[in-house]
Structure 1
Amino acid sequence: MTALPASLQSWFDARGWQMHPHQRAMLDRARAPALLLIAPTGGGKTLAGFLPTLADLAEAPEPGMHTLYVSPLKALAADIKRNLRTPIDEAGLPIRVEDRTGDTSAHAKKRQRADPPHILLTTPESLALLTSYEDAPRMFAGLKRVVIDEIHALAESKRGDQLMLALARLQALCPDLRRVGLSATVDDPDAIARLLARHPDPCEILEADPGPDPDIEMLVTDTPPPWSGGGAKYAIPAVLEEVRKHRTTLIFHNTRAQAEIFFHNLWLANDEGLPIGIHHGSLDRGQRERVEAAMVAGELRAIVCTGSLDLGIDWGDVDLVIQVGAPKNVKRLVQRIGRANHRYNAPSKALLVPANRFEVVECVAALQAVKERDLDGDPRGPGPRDVLCQHILIAACSGPFDADMLFAEMNSAGAYAGLTRAQFDACLDFCATGGYALRAYDQWRRIVQRPDGLWQLRDPRSAQRIRQNIGTIQDTDTLKVRWRGRGGAPLGEVEEGFAATLTKGDTFLIGGQIVRYEGLREMIVEVSRDAAQKPKIATFMGTKFATSTQLSHRIVKMCQQEDWPELPDHTADWLRLQREVSRLPQPGRLLIESFPHDGREQLVVYGFAGRNAQQTLGLLLTKRMEEEGLAPMGFVATDYATLIWGLDAVTDPRPLFDIARLEAGLDGWLAGNAVMKRTFRASAFIAGLLERQVGGQRKTGKQATMSSDVLYDTLLKYDPEHLLMQITREEAMRGLVDFDRIREMAARVGDRIDLLRLTRVTPLAAPLFLEPGRVPIRGTADERLLEEEVTRLLDASGLATVDAPARPVWRVPW
């Protein structure tokens, strides 16, 4: 058993503390090449990750960097710095701790490179930038440990892929480097361990006592939730009552727009003037910091927020978490629940507030999953190649490199362990020439091979431009919002597309305030105060989560129960009625309902594949219906179903669900679609084909879109198999259209498709008719309706019939 240095042991003794078993285990296994610690929120996992470092440095630390800490959030790095200062200062340890993020001054960054602290706290983007400098070997000389906090949050995105490639670079510089991952919520520890370890080395997994089950239930309200919608306005009185009963309440939402709406309605109902704040990523940094400071000081009774407060920052005396809207993902729910009672072996307290009737079922399914500690998560697949291209350019910035050694280095990063040499060489060629269709243009010839076989930057001056564009976060193009007048205080950001819809006098919500649009000046949205009108809602950037595969399966399984004592009466009665007049969905089968309504034939496909996949299914099925001679007119999708309306009833759905024909239809639809162009733009920026920052100036969204659209159209015409086109298709299929969920559904169902022909709308289908976001289809239905109208007019006039008009091309305005 490894003993703590006397100074640290005295610090523990003075506080009356003893190490938790998992903290002791981390200290004992300090020399393991890779360690993954899974410990509950409040369990001291961050201290556990740093104990070996503090023990090593306690006596006479050598100069230079000993430990690198990587966090997904700048604010978390700053919070950890404050927390680390406590044992260091109180134990009198001679240890320098500094953070380095986008908020660090240029002077401090320069000093850190020349004289690194013992412990450096940073983010994946800042670490990638550090590895791009020529002096990286000197800066990281002697580095012994890397601690990655909230590793589950990084493992699910390209930021994690970027981080693991940077770690591979550090491991090449420091062969004895040890890796530590920390997380409270991991659905597949073995997968995270494989990602963390240097391939093919193993990674040890330590799981702490998970502690007591959370105290979590659904909020009971006097008013039942509506049939559709996401605002949960009906629950405002009940939420306010809970706020009154607790010290500090975090009220989580899945989107920024929903948070703005809820905060506005909550404030209108807040007759007592309780101090309530709002926090999300589109608000001005100064406003977010004021809210954070007030939280830590205990000055706020409630904070309406989004994922910006998900992760492991200790935000003061939070004793209740409320999740408004179905959580969509059990792992995310557990993470948010952990913000309440942030202490080891103290149960977290949380309430779920379904926004509509169907979300009641989803919330109950999520509650059951949490109690069973059954987290969800889908495998991510191989590392994306646009991140790989960026890493090659980063390596070139740091100096000449050997391609064989770089390939071996990349193969050691978990997500890239299966990378073939041909795939690597294609990325290398892309960085050297821009690809076949672009090789004639010097601007895309960024690296060259020297006579000695090493690769280097073609123009050393390009290193600065490459560094300015390092990163994988692709924010939606936004414009700053400020109060009118020069020097007006900033409020936050709105999307360019939303700003383009505004005319003078329009009002919208931002930061919980109703503001009046006055005009656009120098790419700044200028506003004034206006509380007299009903506001529009700003369409803030942010992810609209889809219900996870596991949670969807739980919901379908719930539908097989004889009765539902765990559900409120209004929802249980709704499901019973569905069973009486139609059928409830069954595992391993696909339920489809067909019925007439409002003069049209309706088709409802209960795929339970998530919103993106159900939307894609609507696109593909309407195209297949056209091919089969049917006449669809439009569709709308939710997480659990797709509703299609048209002129003809579907009598045999099986031909519509031929997976090969669905995928072929998707390929044709994607080729010239705005979804594909948007995906291409993001990958082109990451891979370095396009630059967002030029000479310190950021391109506007319009400039970036024009450049990427021209490139996309050129490659589509002349080089459709270009590397970036391949990457774009992979990204679109995996993310925006979620075709893997459709494949999973097709494999699970096979030919077990149940079509029920009914006479009227069913209970389960009814909410779909209230769902926004309807997508019209222009095709044979328009033609037939026009023919019928022309025939009617001609018959009424006594004239002969004329030839039918030409059939229009099928397309969707999405």
Structure 2
Amino acid sequence: MSLASAWFALRSWKPFAFQKEVWQAVKNGESGLLHATTGAGKTYAVWFAALNRFAKPLPAAKPSTRPTTRKPAMAPLTVLWITPMRALAADTARALQAPLDELQIAWSVGMRTGDTSSAERARQSRKLPSALITTPESLTLLLTGANARATFAGVRMLVVDEWHELLGNKRGVQLQLALARLRQWNPQLIVWGLSATLGNQPHAMDVLMPVGRLVQGKLPKDLLVDTLLPPGIERFPWAGHLGLRMLGQVVAELETSSTTLVFTNTRSQAEIWYQALLEARPDWAGLLALHHGSLSREVRDWVELALKQGALKAVVCTSSLDLGVDFLPVERVLQIGSPKGVARLMQRAGRSGHAPGRPSRVTLVPTHSLELLEAAAAQTAVAERRIEARESPEKPLDVLVQHLVSMALGGGFQAEALLAEVRSAWAYRHLTDEEWQWALAFIRHGGHSLTAYPDYRRAEPDAEGLWQVPDARLARRHRMSIGTIVSDASLSVKWWAKGGSGGSLGSVEEGFIARLRPGDGFLFAGRLLELVRVENMTAYVRRATSKKAAVPRWNGGRMPLSSELADAVVDKLGEAAKGVYASPEMRLLQPLLAVQASWSALPTAHTLLAEVHKSREGWHLFLYPFAGRSVHLGLASLLAWRLGQGQPLSFSIAVNDYGLELLCASPIDYTQVLTPALFNSDNLLHDVLASLNAGELARRRFREIARIAGLVFSGYPGAAKSARQLQASSALFFDVFQQYDPSNLLLTQAQQEVLRQELDVQRLQHTLERLQGRTLDIRLVKRATPLAFPLLVERFRESLSSEKLADRIKRMVQDLEHAAGPGGYQADTDARFAIDDERPAPRKGRTPRQGKDGRPRT
């Protein structure tokens, strides 16, 4: 009997067919990708596959009268388990350890992440555990050891948990390079990826392994998606108030379940909802908790343990609890606001009913009327499994440069051998000889413009051609900088205590604290705090007595509407245009859509709705491609530039996930200038670069690239450089390269990343091609329609304070509701505002204006 069969028999469990398939595949030495429902048993599928093949139970002890305390010798490092998040490591370790104890297998399980203590690291330096749970960054750091090859000599299997979270970013590329090195040392290495939400599984397999088996763990599991319907809707919605008028309904829903996860899309939103729930139900103090990535590790660990024990009524959280953590007591999930993506919604739904056979349920809580539309669309998209595809980045050279220095530290490398190894990683399969030689020159002397500076001589070959790092100081700096996650500098938040520092509460971004003065209040970690002082990258705080507080704004929270969900939204509008309102959400939305259809029209999959309006501000064009915020920003700038080619025009721009607004102070007849040629994708790259301040965008993007490539150093522990210092340093390099080394490939990469990530040019081109196939439906409107109103609010945000904006909205809504007639619901326009992380920061100087030379001016 195999170890897996023995353990399952102990629990009277019967393995699923997909688990047996994985066990047999690993027994045969095969690699693969396991795509299975959340909570179906993916972890034990691959873990027991490894144990069946590589482990043996302890031999039965011989009868002896002499007691022994000698512990059995543990197996050497055999399995590497890669997790995308440190929060998953402890939970995974517990799951892997359980069968080892019960079956008496002489294996040990350990963790190596950024949270690992120095004492544990020291123990691991003497001997690593049999199974090591680690992150891509920590794995690369281990590979920089001089004896790395000997350390990993016994590794036989590598598992990548939640592969979809790494596939589409530079962390995944970093893992590809580390995996290429491990395969070079052990060509028979078995590799398995795990995921529950991959839309392009063949690509995911190609990136992770050259040859493998796709195992589908399809189990009959109910995934229930419903909506918490408000008593009425605004016919003229706007994003910004976070649905707190539904607080009473949310409280009622929480009362019906023993344990609930309340997901929000941003950390700011989580802070506000946690405080609101606590104010509504003060008797739940101690039963409500808050969890997001900026809270201290101790707080997060406490919340996760209390969840497992079923000691909490509800936890308000962000994506910090999205992945793989197994909380059996969680009965249901609430999602505040639109999830913006199908895969994200399914992932969060899977946090409830996290066991085979148990249904998973997620309830959507709309924060404004149009999110009812997204809720209805999300239900259809989930039912049809329209899961978003994720694509691996193509040869990011900053990651390659970092990897070369790491390999020079890890015993050194021969250039030709490492080139073949690097090209075996999917992201670098098309790496050219010229790009390789540039990368070698860059780590040797910093390229053409930095040869005089010794800090950029990070690796060089010896007489035998072995590349190594010659300077111990540079080696230490590099090890401290390994990784591809780049964020704004953050400050620790600690309690103020006389005579020394109090306990830690977490961290907040430097840009937020910089706007506060001592005595100002802010909401953090579910508490109303007052800033006492800022010193040595630490914000000292105490409890505040004032009720007025700012809410921290963290970057990284913008979540654009995915193509799959956007298409589902357009399908719902198309049904409504035919008079079909099949779901409760759409029936509740009918008054809004009726006004939209009466004053203008409803967008469909076959038409491109354009609304033209003349006001005291000027000539407005509202366009609804439903392609997501980033595409609409690029499209709006492109259209403004192309419209300005015939005459000098200046436009103000506003965008959201549904559409865009162009406002021109000068007379312009949109009905005449909106032609198919305006949406032509020919010369798209040239026109996009001409329509935007691409140089400034590339300069901002270069900050991340410079940090990853090792040009700028973030600082030592306790003496981290500020975001302003890093930006200044990277900008200096950017200017030097532009002037003295214009062919530097990092400059090219910065421009490519701006086009690919910030402007999403590929999706923009696809959108233009789709728009050309649609019938242009131009409507002259007398006033802002329900779809146009949110775009007006977006534009007003950039020039008005929250108080003035609330007053402006209140007046506008009253006028529009009066024009629309009876049937509307008067929302609370005085509802509290929040710093909306999904909203881009004001883009100063973004308005294109044609100059005498035909180039855009600001």
Q: Flag whether TM exceeds 0.5 (same fold).
A: yes
Residue equivalent to 1:729: 751
Over 3 Å counting, the alpha-carbon distance change for 1:414 and 1:32 in structure 2 is farther
Q: Kindly provide the CA deviation profile for residues 61-90 of structure 1, in whole angstroms up to 9, marking residues without a partner as x.
A: 884211111111122111111122211111
The residue matched to 1:257 in structure 2 has which SS?
A: helix
Partner residue of 1:553?
567
1:411 to 407, 419, 423: 423
From 575, 582, 585, give the equivalent of 1:565: 582
Asked whether 1:203 is paired with 2:216, we answer no
Amino acid in structure 2 at the alignment position of 1:210: L
Q: Counterpart in 1 of 2:792?
A: 769
Q: Secondary structure at the match of 1:590?
A: strand
Q: Secondary structure at the match of 2:174?
A: helix
1:39 lines up with 2:36 in the alignment? yes
Change (3 A) 1:653 1:427: farther
Distance 2:354 2:360 in 1: 7
Aligned to 2:601: 583
Q: Secondary structure at the match of 1:373?
A: coil
Task: Report whether the alignment pairs 1:497 with 2:507.
Answer: no
CA drift at 1:316? 4.1
Cα displacement (A) at 1:674: 4.7
Letter in 2 for 1:759: K
Q: Against the structure 1 CA distance between its residues 781 and 288, is the aligned structure 2 distance closer, same or farther, given a 3 Å change threshold?
A: closer
Give unmatched runs, 5+ long, in structure 1: 784-804
Give the stretch that moved more between structures: 104-113 or 212-221.
104-113
1:527 and 2:541 aligned:
yes
Q: Structure 1 pair 710/85, CA: closer, same or farther in 2 (3 Å)?
A: same
Q: Confirm or deny: 8 A CA contact 1:780 1:807 kept in the other structure.
A: no
Matched residue, 1:794: none
The aligned length equals: 784
1:653 maps to which residue? 674
2:239·2:790 contact (CA, 8 Å) conserved in 1?
Answer: no
Contact 1:256 1:541 in 2 (8 A): no
CA contact (8 A) 1:609 1:639 kept: yes
Residue identity matched to 2:272: I
Structure 2 CA distance for aligned equivalents of residues 748 and 807 of structure 1: 32
Q: Secondary structure at the match of 2:99?
A: helix
| Number of the residue aligned with 1:175 | 187
In the alignment, the residues of structure 1 paired with residue 727 and residue 788 of structure 2 have an alpha-carbon distance, to the nearest angstrom, of 39
Q: 1:366 aligns with which of 375, 378, 388?
A: 378
Kindly report the root-mean-square deviation, in angstroms, between the aligned alpha carbons of the 2 structures.
2.6
CA contact (8 A) 2:78 2:130 kept: yes
Counterpart residue type for residue 572 of structure 1? Q
Q: Counterpart in 1 of 2:779?
A: 756
1:746 aligned to 2:768?
yes
* Compared CA separation, residues 107 and 728, structure 1 to 2 (3 A): same
CA distance in 2, matches of 1:542, 1:782: 31
Aligned partners of 1:684 and 1:690 also within 8 Å: yes
- Structure 2, unaligned runs of 5 or more: 59-72, 799-841
- Cα shift at 1:143: 1.2
| Larger CA deviation: 110-119 vs 297-306 | 110-119
Deviation at 1:224, TM superposition (A): 2.9
1:58 pairs with one of 56, 59, 70: 56
Q: Give the letter for the 1:579 counterpart.
A: A
Higher relative contact order (CA 8 A, sep 6+): 2
Describe the superposition over 1:725-766 as per-residue Cα deviations: whole angstroms up to 9, x where unpaired: 111111111222323222221122237544333333223212
1:238 paired residue number:
249
- Equivalent residue for 2:85, pick from 68, 73, 79: 73
**Deviation (angstroms), 1:394:** 1.0
Taking only the aligned residue pairs, the percentage that are identical comes to 34
Say whether the 8 Å CA contact 2:537–2:720 is kept in structure 1: no
Kept after mapping to 1: 8 A contact 2:849/2:856:
no
**AA of the residue aligned to 2:673:** D
Q: Does 1:278 align with 2:276?
A: no
96 and 504 in structure 1: CA distance in 2 versus 1, 3 angstrom threshold:
closer
* Aligned twin of 1:714: 736
Q: Which range moved further: 77-86 or 458-467?
A: 458-467
3-state SS of 2:355 partner:
coil
Deviation at 1:782, TM superposition (A): 11
Distance verdict in 2 for CA 1:571–1:379, change over 3 Å? same
Determine the structure 1 residue equivalent to 2:821.
Answer: none
How high is the TM-score relative to the length of structure 1? Answer: 0.91
Distance 1:782 1:696 in 2: 46
Q: Determine the structure 2 residue equivalent to 1:339.
A: 351
Partner of 2:658, secondary structure, is coil
Question: 3-state DSSP class of the match of 2:529?
Answer: strand
How far off is 1:564 after superposition? 1.9
2:233 matches 1:224: yes
CA distance, structure 2, for counterparts of residue 264 and residue 440 of structure 1: 56
Letter in 1 for 2:749: I
Query: Which residue does the alignment assign to 1:249?
Result: 260
Tell me by how many angstroms 1:697 deviates. 4.2
Comparing 159-168 with 433-442, greater Cα deviation is found at 433-442
Offset of 1:643 from its aligned partner?
1.4
CA distance in 1, matches of 2:685, 2:545: 50
Structure 2 distance, partners of 1:624, 1:685, is 36
The amino acid across from 2:792 in the alignment is F
Q: Deviations over 1:412-448 (max 9, x none)?
A: 2222223233332222222223222223333222222
Change in 2 beyond 3 A, CA 1:564/1:598: farther
Deviations 1:13-46 (A, max 9, x none): 2211222211111111113441111111221110
Change (3 A) 1:773 1:660: farther
Aligned to 1:464: 476
Residues 255 and 71 (structure 1 numbering): CA distance in 2 closer, same or farther, change over 3 Å? same
Alignment of 1:634 onto 2:652: yes
Which residue of 182, 197, 202 corresponds with 1:190?
Answer: 202
CA–CA distance in 1 between the matches of 2:852 and 2:701?
34
Partner Cα distance (2:588, 2:187) in 1: 62
Q: Map 1:85-484 onto structure 2 (within 5 A).
A: 85-197=97-209, 201-224=210-233, 227-230=237-240, 231-273=242-284, 275-459=287-471, 461-484=473-496
User: Could you say what secondary structure the match of 1:536 adopts?
Assistant: coil
Cα distance in 2, alignment partners of residues 782 and 13 from structure 1: 73
- Measured against aligned partners, the alpha-carbon deviations of 1:533-582 in whole angstroms (never above 9, x if no partner) come to 23222112323110111211221222221122213434123223323332
Instruction: State the distance in 2 between where 1:380 and 1:811 align.
Output: 36
Q: Distance in 2 between matches of 1:663 and 1:149?
A: 37
Distance 1:234 1:68 in 2: 48
Describe the SS at the equivalent of 1:80: helix
| Range with greater deviation from structure 2 (536-545 or 309-318) | 536-545
| Residue 26 of structure 1, aligned match among 19, 22, 25 | 22
Q: 1:360 to 1:721 in 2, by over 3 A?
A: farther
Pick closer, same or farther for the CA change 1:508–1:631 going to 2, 3 Å: farther
Counterpart-to-counterpart distance in 2, 1:216 and 1:209: 19
